[in-house]
Amino acid sequence: MNRYPLWVIAGLLWLPAACLAQITTERHVVSASGDQLTGGFLDLTFTLGEWTTGPLQPSGSSLTANLGFHQADLMVSDLEEWLDLGLPALYPNPFNQEIILSNPAHRTGTLQILDPQGHLVVTRQLLPQSAPETIWMGTLPAGAYIVRFSDHQHQTSSSLTILKQ
């Protein structure tokens, strides 16, 4: 009968436990919306929110692993929280040729309007003392536009619609 030193036996018992601990405790974000990952002995396809069970075949042995996903915490806000931010107002919406920008909460920040392709079409720097301003947009085509307001604390987006007669 072969006799092995105690440290060899302890090492053989410790190694699988250490590998398993590393596999089960480390978390990595691999995708925010799903992905297909291929490498070595694993081919994995998943979508966000889906548990995946897949066969792993390292070194000729067969093993099934349940693989989960990591999702970042979602921030949920209600309408009152958005109203408390005191964001600039653009009205009327929808509109035809011109829109009025007002800053009733006297915020400091940058307002941007982007066309449906994401190109910047209007930029305004807002100061606390900014008076209501009429913005001419009659040369732009009808469609849905994105409005972005940002200051040193927040960035918010909303939509704006230009209607043509």
pLDDT in tens, 56-86: 555 555 555 555 544 445 555 554 444 455 6
pLDDT score, position 119: 94
Domain end residue (candidates: 35, 67, 99): 67
Residue ranges of the chain with per-residue pLDDT less than 50: 7-30, 50, 69-72, 79-83
Contacts 24+ apart (CB under 8 A), 20-29: 27/70, 28/70, 29/70, 29/72
132 and 106, same structural domain? yes
Domain range for 145: 79-162
Contact 126, 110 (CB under 8 A): yes
Which pLDDT score is estimated for 75? Answer: 54
pTM over 0.85: no
Whether 73 maps to a domain, the answer reads no
Let me know whether 115 and 62 are in one domain.
Answer: no
What pLDDT sits at residue 110?
94
pLDDT of residue 35: 61
